[in-house]
Amino acid sequence: MKFRLRLPLLHCAVLCAAGSFSLPALSADGAMDDLLRVLRDRGAISASEYEVLKDSAAADRERASQAVSEATKDTVKVKTGKSGLKLSSSDGDFKFQLGGRAMIDAAYYDKDSTRLGNGAELRRARLFAKGTVYHDWFYKAQIDFAGNSTSLKDFYLGYSGFDSAKVKVGNFKEPFSLEELTSSKYITFMERGLPNTFSPGRNTGLAVSTRGDKWGAAAGYFFEGIKNDSSPKSQGWGATGRVHFAPLAEKERVVHLGAAVSYRGSDGDNEIRFRERPESHVTSTRLVNTGTISGYDNQTLYGLEAATVYGPFSLQGEYMQASVDVSGAGPDPDFSGWYVYGSYFLTGEHRPYKAGSGTFGRVKPASVVGQGGSGAWEIAARYSSIDLEDSGYTGGEEDNITLGVNWYATPNVRFMANYIHASTAPSSPDAFPGTGDEDVNIFQVRSQIDF
């Protein structure tokens, strides 16, 4: 008790004594313990005083550590940059991100006989919020404000607490098609290829996915999704699965292979149709269109995909087929489509591949405009084809050649220019109205920013 009352005086004595001796270099960790030991060994303090002071210094360190822990345990970390606004707790259990994208398009149509309509549009104007709760629960909500309307895109909740699997429930893209699953922010051309009409897209359901270093698999059960307009083809309910494997998955060298299948049943209206724009969204006209197919009972969708990246060069292609069962109302048609395209970065960048999800991500220019750089330049060419003619159904055939130039000013700002030559050739004079022999030249551009 006597020593406790004298501790302030002893601390002063320690400091004074420290100034009276030439001391050896002290370690950064435990400097007070080293100092006390030196003073004891040189007789500046007694052995008993040394023990008391050492215990006092240890208690001071413990109290300081607790104070720092209490002060920081509820700290919120804030980060801004190319991925939008991010907030996270210091322990990483809670994360929140706010971001969005805006894409403005303009198109000119050198029409043949079908009026397409020149113009401009706000192609996408989206905001999203996503994050994690208690580390293993994740969520996302995404809304699009383009087209003078509001539409719900992603809206889901998931759990990732298993070893290598995730479970997700809500409205999101079904696991089908490499090009469909790659975000519109990162696709090479302004619009996805003609076969995209066969992709189920977003629907409401439950899916399970798992992945490894060079592979991934996902499967789910879906109902018809949240409809944002009255025109989409009927999808009913469906069970969809996709697997992909990348035997080569290096930073600048990739080989990707994938396959998907989806079985879909009627939702009760017994009608379905397939149609597609000419890889340009400013027009609402479809050059190929099956019209309403009555007696629809079910369909099976098949998809094969392949891609490779070798430095600045990449090659990608897909084949899709829809086999439709019309329940004896007539012969069962098989519709199909495919595309293949190549791209090359004149400035040496590459398309970044995500082996776990089997998709492509954000291109990062080697030099950024605004920081003394010139950005990244990419050229690309695509051939795509779709056949909606089979078993007496005359939706038409279309073949497109697309040439593209992309300028990535920064990782978040991109400007795109596409030239498309679209040609159609229905095999029947009874083709659906609006289809016919067409040769259309399309010039379109896009300004894009995401955050």
* 89 in Cβ contact with 76 (< 8 Å): yes
pLDDT value, residue 224:
77
Confidence at 53, pLDDT banded by 50, 70, 90? confident
Whole-number Å distance between alpha carbons of 322 and 335: 5
Whole-number Å distance between alpha carbons of 146 and 36: 71
43 lies in the same domain as 57: yes
44 lies in the same domain as 171: no
Q: Which of 26, 53, 72 is the last residue of a domain?
A: 72
Q: Measuring CA to CA, which residue among 101, 98, 147, 99 is closest to residue 449?
A: 101
Confidence at 64, pLDDT banded by 50, 70, 90? confident
284 lies in the same domain as 269: yes
CA distances from 97 to 81, 83, 89 (A): 11, 8, 12
Confidence at 25, pLDDT banded by 50, 70, 90? very low
232 lies in the same domain as 275: yes
Confidence at 222, pLDDT banded by 50, 70, 90? very high
Confidence at 295, pLDDT banded by 50, 70, 90? confident
61 lies in the same domain as 186: no
pLDDT value, residue 147:
85
**pLDDT at 231 exceeding the cut of 50:** no
101 lies in the same domain as 223: yes
pLDDT digits (tens, 9 = 90+) for 129-153: 999 999 999 999 999 999 888 999 9
341 lies in the same domain as 429: yes
Average pLDDT (395-400) is 95
171 lies in the same domain as 300: yes
Confidence at 27, pLDDT banded by 50, 70, 90? very low
How many CB atoms lie under 10 A from the CB of residue 271? Answer: 14
* Structural domain range at position 104: 77-450
217 lies in the same domain as 327: yes
232 lies in the same domain as 371: yes
pLDDT value, residue 121:
96
pLDDT digits (tens, 9 = 90+) for 330-359: 899 999 999 999 999 999 999 999 999 999
pLDDT value, residue 62:
78
Relative to beta strand 288-289, strand 275-276 is antiparallel
pLDDT value, residue 79:
76
Confidence at 403, pLDDT banded by 50, 70, 90? very high
Average pLDDT (294-322) is 96
pLDDT value, residue 357:
96
138 lies in the same domain as 19: no
Q: Which of 49, 72, 95 is the last residue of a domain?
A: 72
394 lies in the same domain as 289: yes
**pLDDT at 425 exceeding the cut of 60:** yes
pLDDT value, residue 1:
41
Least confident of 111-120, 297-306, 370-379: 111-120
Average pLDDT (99-113) is 93
Average pLDDT (288-309) is 94
pLDDT value, residue 107:
98
Confidence at 16, pLDDT banded by 50, 70, 90? very low
Bridge partner list, 102: 125, 449
CA distances from 113 to 9, 124, 208, 291 (A): 101, 29, 48, 20
pLDDT value, residue 69:
60
Q: Which residue has the higher pLDDT, 44 or 98?
A: 98
**pLDDT at 78 exceeding the cut of 90:** no
- The CATH number covering residue 199 comes to 2.40.160.10
**Total number of domains constituting the chain:** 2
Percent of the chain with pLDDT over 70: 85
**pLDDT at 431 exceeding the cut of 70:** no
pLDDT value, residue 261:
98
Percent of the chain with pLDDT over 90: 65
Whole-number Å distance between alpha carbons of 49 and 357: 65
pLDDT digits (tens, 9 = 90+) for 141-189: 999 999 888 999 999 999 999 988 999 999 999 999 999 999 999 999 9
pLDDT value, residue 7:
43
Whole-number Å distance between alpha carbons of 101 and 117: 25
**pLDDT at 316 exceeding the cut of 90:** yes
pLDDT value, residue 56:
78
How many CB atoms lie under 10 A from the CB of residue 111? Answer: 17
**pLDDT at 19 exceeding the cut of 60:** no
* 38 in Cβ contact with 21 (< 8 Å): yes
Q: Which of 50, 72, 94 is the last residue of a domain?
A: 72
As a whole number, the mean pLDDT across the chain is 87
pLDDT value, residue 434:
58
Whole-number Å distance between alpha carbons of 422 and 111: 10
**pLDDT at 29 exceeding the cut of 80:** no
